[in-house]
Amino acid sequence: MTTKHSIFHAPTSATRTLTSLLLCCLLSLPMLHCSSQSSTQLPSAAACDHEQLRRDIGEMLLVGFRGLTADDTSHIIRDIRQHHIGGVLLFEYDAPSHSRPRNISSPTQLQHLCRQLQTADSTPLFIAIDQEGGRVNRLKSQYGFPPFASAKAMARGGADSVKHYARLTAHTLHTLGINLNFAPCVDVDVNPDCPIIGRIERSFSADAERVAQCAAWWIEAHHEEGVVCCLKHFPGHGSSLADTHLGLADVSDTWQEHELIPYRRLIAAGKADMVMTTHVYNALLDSLQPATLSRRTLTDLLRDSLGFDGVVITDDMAMGAMTQHYTLRDMLLGAIEAGADMLCLSNNGDQYDPDIVPHTIDLIVALVDEGRLAPQRIAQSAQRIRTLKETQLHPSR
């Protein structure tokens, strides 16, 4: 700031006093600014940092919502524009109301919904879906979509079969405007009677190397269409005797180290875009916490030992394995401390909360203000997510 003293002519004592007071007031104003503030509002550095913190936290959230369309009155549009969420998650079935459809009724409807979501803001948005095929299939034939085989069925048909369904899935998602598939499932079929993996044919094979190869073909087809893939469920759910949707699953006596082979192979080959955690408890890796909340599992094993530096996303925080044992605040703190970057809030558990995004952001801001989480840790995760979007999302998205 400069003062043009030439505008003062023969100042009197009173004038000099008034001028000094005005200059002191002006010089006491902070000289920092935030890009979203007008030039007449100059917030403090703390306010600037706080705004960026909330934006970074928003980037970490991937959220489910209700609606076959999303207009300006929809809370999900508010969450995209005002809270800068990193992504949305599509479902065919609404669990809290035990009804359908939730987001999907036809190819034309879904394409229009994805366009509404993606164009709501200039920042790229992950539009995610669980489209493995078989029983985990949101794009059902009854809504006009082609049939999609299960992982086990397509692998049984050989390489051509896996590649065919991978291309079909990837092309369908690309056409609809969906850019993130929570697949492939790289759980090894250790226990064929596992209620959530083996029994419903979500695993390619009991052979870990075969799982890795089939997953590689799946990912390659998706990358050709500009669709990001997510490996799941780390560090392995295929040996469990229980379903984490319903409660905590303990794999301490059944998990085998070769369940890490698909992750090891795909990470080394540069094919791992994103990794999803599982809520299983595995005392072989951490005697205190389930994988989603375990620093030993997500940081020491996945990042440091296996060398993964991409985006880690939690499995749905609304699952019984989490909600029966932890508050949302404790889940958020534990997952972020453990090394998770994105937090999956399906809003598709026992309850539906249209304000889950502002509530979650407020909880994490409070954890930062209390000194429980470092803002640098939040910024690190947000940057990983933005980098993945910049490098992997198809230009047409």
Q: Of the listed 245, 250, 258, 325, which one is catalytic?
A: 245
* Cα 274 to chain centroid, rounded: 9
Identify whether 353 is a catalytic site residue. Answer: no
Q: Of the listed 56, 273, 315, 316, which one is catalytic?
A: 315
Chunked into runs of 10 residues, the chain (397 residues) has average pLDDT values of: 34 39 36 38 60 98 98 97 98 97 98 98 97 97 98 98 98 98 98 96 98 98 98 97 86 97 98 97 96 98 98 96 96 98 97 98 97 97 98 67
Per-domain boundaries in the chain: 52-392
Which pLDDT value is given to residue 394?
Answer: 58
Which pLDDT value is given to residue 243?
Answer: 81
Which pLDDT value is given to residue 48?
Answer: 58
Identify whether 79 is a catalytic site residue. Answer: no
CA–CA dist 359, 339 (Å, integer): 21
Contact 293, 332 (CB under 8 A): no
User: Residue 127: which H helix or E strand, with range?
Assistant: strand 126-129
**Strand partners for 313:** 276, 342
- Which pTM value belongs to this model? 0.88
Residue located via tokens 């692998």 = 155
Confirm or reject CATH 3.40.1190.10 for domain 52-392, answering yes or no: no
Write out the two tokens for 304: 């440091």
